[in-house]
Structure formats: structure tokens, C-alpha cells
């Protein structure tokens, strides 16, 4: 992802030591275990939910006979562990299965939706991560200036209103009143790359406004924290210009917390944007998973859940690794 490359740019050139490889491998192992635990949890929780796919398909029109018929054809009358291991053995072999509700293969649908979700998240991250770090640095350098206060107030405002509200405001202003951008963020096959970018302009703006504040404020706080250390004072006394102190001395030391807050926000951009998807009618993963949960479509819920979990585990792992690489004390662990 763009953002991770960007974060790496700030890291001094280094040879990845053997210990780092070991740490990464260990993390990978734990990650796989986490995913397995997640799959058990998801399966169990869909079992605990009242009703099953048969009653979800039939809904208000349920008759006992039709319910039994559906349960039998879908194999839902088998015991829970049998169904779980049946699913697991297929999943491990790469067969993510068919939707229980409409009997379609899950693969193509997930691929398309995941592609959309990643597209939206990448564009939003590509704008928000550099912007927030840049603004955060400026705010730290000009601490307590008018600029600092203005940007703090503005970002507090966008973070404290719910994201659907930000979305609606943008729609009313830029779509209904001004007519500049579409209110529907439909993604269709016949659209060019630029058309797609245009279609998602409003949801991207919403997401940028929502994640900006968090990352910016943390960057500012981390850098200010470093700037209050004695060695910075020393550098100041030696007459090094302020911008060099920030870029060469403060930022490298503040990287670890910045990287981890960026990772958390990136993960949110992928797994947490269902509300924004609904407001802009964006065909992403969130809506797919919500529909699947409502229909008790276990294979779809499982696959979505595992993808989401993998995103979190993966991003956290990358953040930790980068954090280690950016800190020589951790890099050369004994």
C-alpha cells in the first residue's frame, strides 16, 4: 500500500537483522492462529444468533415445511461441529464455497467488492496519510500558533460528528446544491479509472475528514513530546535550524507511534466504513457482510470476517515491524 511505502521512506537505510526476521515469522504464526480463532468465533456467533438461513430466506413467509426443506437441501440439519469442519477443510483447500442464500459462488462477488473497498481505502489513505502527517508536523512546529489552534479545532469538529453526517452535508452541498459531484458512488465495469475516481470523490472526502484528525493530532503530540526532550534543547543551543531539528531529530524518534496510528486508521478505512458505504451506496465489503449476517449466510460471513481479521493482523504486523526497524534500540535487540 502507498501509505506503508511512505512510512518506510522515513526509515534510515538498514540491513534487516536476523532477529527481525525471527520476530516477523513469530508474528506470522500468531497471525494464522488468530485467524483460526476468529473463524471459530464467527461460526459460533452466527450459531448463537436467533434464526438461521432458512428462516432468513423465508422471512415473514415462513412455513414449517418450507423451512425444513431448505434446511435439508443446505445441510443445515447436520450438527454444528460437522458443519464447521466441513467448511474449514474446504476453506483450507481454497474453496470458499457458495452462498447459502442464492447458491452463487462467493469468489467473484468478494473479489469485486474487495477491489472496490481497497480502491476507496487506498485513495482515502493516499490523501489523508501524507496530509495529516504534514499538517501534524506544521502544528507541532508552530505549536500554539493561530494555525495550530485553527487546525485543531477544525479536525476536532470533523472527528466529533458522526461520519454519516459529514457524508450527508457533503452530498447536500456538492451534489444537490452545486451539482459538482455524484451522490451515488456506483462502481461499474464499464467505467474508466478517472470515472471511478470521480464517482468516489465524496466518500473519499468524507473518509479523509474523519481519519485526518486522529492521525494529525497524534503526529503533533508525538513530535511535540520529542521536542521537549533535552537533546532537542541541546540541538537548539548548538544553533541547528528548527526545521532541521524537526525533520532529522524529532520525526525519526516519533515514527513508531505515528506508524501505529496510521495502521489503525488504514485498517478502519478497510473494515469500518460500512456507514459511509450505505450513505453513498458504495458496493464495498461492509455492505456485503451486513447483508450476509442478516441472512445468516455463514460462508459469506466467514470469508468477510476472515478478510477483515487478516487486514487487521497484517497491518498491525507491518506497523510493528516498521516500528522495530525505525528504532535502532529495538532493531539490535539482544
Instruction: Give the footprint of another protein on this chain (CB under 8 A).
Output: 49-51, 55, 57-66, 69-70, 99, 101-103, 109, 113, 168, 171-172, 175-176, 179, 182-184, 186, 188, 278-281, 283, 287-288, 291-292, 294-295, 297, 300
In the bound complex, what is the minimum distance in angstroms from residue 86's beta carbon to another protein? 21
- Compute, in degrees rounded to 10, the torsion defined by CA atoms 289, 293, 296, 301: 40
Calpha distance 200→116 (Å, rounded):
10
Calpha distance 129→4 (Å, rounded):
10
Q: Which is nearer to another protein, 40 or 49 (CB)?
A: 49
Q: Which is nearer to another protein, 146 or 176 (CB)?
A: 176
In the bound complex, what is the minimum distance in angstroms from residue 300's beta carbon to another protein? 7
Q: Which is nearer to another protein, 290 or 330 (CB)?
A: 290
Calpha distance 3→11 (Å, rounded):
13
Give how far Cα 284 sits from Cα of 168, 187, 287, Å.
Answer: 19, 9, 6
In the bound complex, what is the minimum distance in angstroms from residue 180's beta carbon to another protein? 10
In the bound complex, what is the minimum distance in angstroms from residue 116's beta carbon to another protein? 10
Using alpha carbons, select from 117, 96, 113 the residue that is nearest to residue 297: 96
Q: Which is nearer to another protein, 43 or 280 (CB)?
A: 280
Residue 310: helix, strand or coil by DSSP? helix
Contacting residues for 332 by C-beta, under 8 A, at least 6 apart: 17, 19
Calpha distance 216→201 (Å, rounded):
21
In the bound complex, what is the minimum distance in angstroms from residue 161's beta carbon to another protein? 15
Q: Which is nearer to another protein, 171 or 207 (CB)?
A: 171
Q: Which is nearer to another protein, 55 or 327 (CB)?
A: 55
In the bound complex, what is the minimum distance in angstroms from residue 294's beta carbon to another protein? 7
Please, is 34 exposed, middle or buried when counting C-beta atoms within 10 Å of its C-beta (0-12, 13-18, 19+)?
Answer: middle
Calpha distance 25→159 (Å, rounded):
36
Amino acid at each position: 500500500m502507498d501509505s506503508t511505502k511512505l512510512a518506510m521512506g522515513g526509515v534510515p537505510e538498514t540491513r534487516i537483522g536476523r532477529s527481525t526476521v525471527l520476530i516477523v515469522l513469530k508474528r506470522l504464526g500468531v497471525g494464522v492462529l488468530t485467524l483460526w480463532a476468529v473463524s471459530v468465533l464467527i461460526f459460533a456467533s452466527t450459531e448463537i444468533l436467533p434464526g438461521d438461513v432458512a428462516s432468513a430466506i423465508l422471512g415473514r413467509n415462513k412455513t414449517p415445511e418450507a423451512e425444513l426443506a431448505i434446511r435439508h437441501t443446505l445441510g443445515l440439519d447436520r450438527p454444528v461441529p460437522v458443519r464447521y469442519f466441513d467448511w474449514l477443510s474446504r476453506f483450507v483447500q481454497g474453496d470458499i464455497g457458495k452462498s447459502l442464500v442464492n447458491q452463487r459462488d462467493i469468489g467473484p462477488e468478494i473479489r469485486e467488492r474487495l477491489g472496490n473497498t481497497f480502491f476507496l481505502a487506498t485513495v482515502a489513505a493516499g490523501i489523508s496519510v501524507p496530509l495529516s502527517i504534514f499538517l501534524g508536523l506544521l502544528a507541532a512546529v508552530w505549536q500554539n500558533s493561530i494555525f495550530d489552534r485553527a487546525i485543531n479545532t477544525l479536525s476536532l469538529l470533523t472527528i466529533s460528528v458522526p461520519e454519516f453526517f459529514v457524508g450527508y452535508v457533503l452530498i447536500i452541498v456538492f451534489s444537490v446544491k452545486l451539482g459538482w459531484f455524484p451522490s451515488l458512488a456506483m462502481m461499474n465495469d464499464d467505467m474508466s479509472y478517472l470515472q471511478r475516481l470521480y464517482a468516489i470523490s465524496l466518500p473519499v472526502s468524507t473518509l479523509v475528514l474523519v481519519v485526518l484528525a486522529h492521525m494529525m493530532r497524534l503526529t503533533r503530540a508525538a513530535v511535540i513530546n520529542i521536542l521537549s526532550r533535552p537533546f532537542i534543547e541541546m540541538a537548539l543551543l548548538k544553533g541547528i535550524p528548527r526545521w532541521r531539528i524537526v525533520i532529522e531529530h524529532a520525526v525519526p524518534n516519533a515514527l513508531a507511534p505515528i506508524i501505529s496510528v496510521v495502521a489503525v486508521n488504514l485498517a478502519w478505512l478497510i473494515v469500518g466504513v460500512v456507514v459511509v458505504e450505505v450513505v453513498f451506496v458504495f458496493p464495498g465489503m461492509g455492505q456485503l457482510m451486513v447483508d450476509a449476517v442478516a441472512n445468516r449466510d455463514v460462508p459469506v460471513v466467514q470469508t468477510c470476517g476472515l478478510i477483515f481479521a487478516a487486514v487487521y493482523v497484517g497491518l498491525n504486523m507491518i506497523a510493528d515491524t516498521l516500528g522495530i526497524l525505525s528504532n535502532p534500540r529495538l532493531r539490535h535487540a539482544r
